[in-house]
Structure 1
Amino acid sequence: MQASRALIASALAGLVAAGSLAAAPAMAADKEKCYGIATAGKNDCANALGTHSCAGQATKDKDPGDWKFVAKGSCEKMGGSLTAGK
């Protein structure tokens, strides 16, 4: 009985993970990297200039090397850039 529950839980976890992976490409298609708009600690990934290597590690607001994903077409309206600054 315990083994059956573990198997079912494992199968459900796999289905949830597979659903998340399938949605990722579609979500990425309507997003773009926007540099220079992230606030300290709120960036989405590594700094383009190599000052840090992970999300949430921006140390200052609107660093031109830090980026966030935004809806396609909205970056420049928000005061950002589609390319990393220096």
Structure 2
Amino acid sequence: MRDETPLPTSKLEALRDFTLAMVRQRGELESTQMQDFYAAGYTQQNVLEIILGLSQKVMSNYTNHIAQTPVDEAFKRFSWTKKSSR
């Protein structure tokens, strides 16, 4: 996901595209984006689940950044830094 490699199914690609659009557009999606998500087999409940997941992630990230919480030893091997686009 982080390296933006193709996902195995078009349905998963639609989930990634929709979730990224939610983040990047701060929830202000075009009607075509909503239609594409539903056409891929997702529902309004799935939209709400994505919103819930994003809100939990934001709260966790902000809290940990302010508190300067170190990464647990068990998870250090999963630490990630975005590759430079330059």
State the TM-score, normalizing by the size of structure 2: 0.31
Point out the structure with max Rg over C-alpha.
1
The structure richer in helix per residue is: 2
Larger RCO: 1 or 2 (CA < 8 Å, sep 6+): 1
Richer in strand (by share): 1
TM-score normalized by the length of structure 1 = 0.31
